[in-house]
């Protein structure tokens, strides 16, 4: 492991036997045996002229197999149960499938409230801000272009640096948000949201939806609090949310405490799958919305 971690930490360099032995605190005989065996199996490559070692092609297949067999979804049910028990709220997790967000797991409240898991949300601004906050500029612009009303574009774009800074998103309660977030739409794949959904999205985009900054002296009617879970590539792999708050009025400090708890759950899951948190710096986006 020390040899592999050394070479993985310096992917653009090659190391001699002596350098590997010194950096990994191995005697030369042990280092030679390790490097020879790993090279024989394609895990390492030995440069024919320089006699230096680097990572080999077999690790590509090994890494792909690890990626497929070890993901955050496997850890989700237990984490949601713990989060539900800690908050007393209904919790759920979303994954992205194309231009849709699907609920893949949920946990009931301690009192037994449990709602339909068969929920699919269109990835249309302002929905999906957690996914877009760490996406590249073309992906963000495509998301903004799908907005059903121009009024939703600028607020959604302005929220991206806020979400990157805070690491969570707070959605305000509204009849439209509740109808969308609990709407059972099956698994149908359609390029455009159905007319009823478009009407809800238009109404949702016409008013403030996301909290741009929590003021501890203010109160908020909260619909949902969510945070991302990052995979090994640094991309958002799924999101975890405390849902069904139904517009309960919370003081700013209560909202912040709940958001930090949800964020901590997302961070724990990121750690469990050896995910990588990306930098909070904003990706390049156009100054004007499309």
Q: What is the mean pLDDT of residues 204-211?
A: 86
- Exposure of 24 by Cβ count < 10 A (0-12 exposed, 13-18 middle, 19+ buried)? middle
pLDDT of residue 266: 94
Question: What predicted TM-score, i.e. pTM, was given to this entire model?
Answer: 0.72
Sorted by where each begins, the domain ranges of the chain are 2-67, 70-272
187: nearest Cα among 255, 266, 119? 119
Query: Topology of 70-272 in CATH?
Result: Beta-Lactamase (3.30.450)
> 88 in helix, strand or coil?
coil
Rounded Cα–Cα distance for residues 163 and 141 (Å): 17
pLDDT of residue 246: 74
CATH architecture of the domain covering 2-67: Orthogonal Bundle (1.10)
* Residue 211, CA distances (Å) to 49, 129, 255 in order: 60, 12, 10
Rounded Cα–Cα distance for residues 101 and 172 (Å): 19
Q: What is the pLDDT of residues 57-74, one digit of tens each?
A: 888 888 777 666 556 677
> 174 in helix, strand or coil?
coil
Residue 266 structure tokens:
């997302």
In the chain, pLDDT over 70 holds for what percent of residues? 86
pLDDT of residue 245: 79
Rounded Cα–Cα distance for residues 140 and 160 (Å): 9
pLDDT of residue 188: 41
CB-facing half-sphere around the CA of 19: CA atoms within 13 A: 11
CA angle 85, 86, 92 (to 5 degrees): 65
Q: What is the pLDDT of residues 116-166, one digit of tens each?
A: 567 888 999 999 999 999 999 999 999 999 998 899 999 999 999 999 999
* Beta carbons within 8 Å of 223's beta carbon, 6+ residues apart: 171, 172, 173, 174, 177, 178, 181, 243, 245, 246, 247
**Continuous H helices in the chain:** 2-8, 17-23, 28-40, 58-69, 76-87, 129-132, 137-145, 153-166, 175-181, 195-205, 252-272
Look over the chain and give the mean of its residue pLDDT values, rounded to a whole number.
Answer: 85
* Beta carbons within 8 Å of 8's beta carbon, 6+ residues apart: 55
């Amino acid at each position: 492991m020390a040899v592999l971690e050394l070479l993985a930490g310096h992917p653009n360099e090659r190391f001699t036997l002596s350098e590997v032995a010194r950096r990994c605190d191995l005697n030369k005989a042990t280092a030679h045996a390790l490097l020879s065996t790993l090279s024989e199996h394609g895990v390492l490559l030995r440069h024919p002229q320089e006699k230096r070692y680097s990572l080999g092609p077999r690790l590509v297949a090994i890494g792909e197999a690890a990626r497929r067999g070890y993901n955050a979804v496997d850890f989700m049910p237990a984490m949601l149960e713990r989060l539900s028990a800690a908050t007393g709220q209904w919790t759920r997790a979303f994954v992205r499938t194309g231009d849709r967000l699907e609920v893949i797991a949920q946990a009931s409240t301690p009192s037994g409230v449990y709602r339909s898991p068969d929920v699919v949300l269109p990835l249309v601004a302002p929905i999906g801000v957690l996914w877009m906050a760490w996406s590249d500029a073309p992906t963000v612009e495509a998301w903004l272009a799908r907005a059903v009303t121009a009024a939703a574009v600028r607020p959604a774009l302005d929220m991206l640096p806020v979400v990157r800074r805070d690491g969570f998103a707070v959605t305000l309660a509204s009849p439209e948000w509740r109808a969308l977030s609990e709407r059972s739409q099956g698994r149908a794949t359609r390029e455009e949201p159905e007319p009823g959904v478009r009407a809800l999205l238009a109404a949702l985009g016409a008013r403030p939806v996301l909290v741009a900054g929590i003021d501890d002296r203010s109160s908020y009617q909260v619909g949902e609090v969510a945070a991302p879970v990052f995979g090994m590539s640094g991309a958002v792999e799924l999101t975890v949310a405390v849902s069904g708050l139904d517009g309960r009025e919370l003081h700013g400090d209560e909202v912040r405490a709940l958001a930090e708890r949800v964020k901590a759950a997302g961070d724990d899951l990121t750690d469990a799958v050896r995910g990588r948190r990306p930098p909070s710096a904003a990706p390049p986006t156009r100054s004007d919305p499309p």
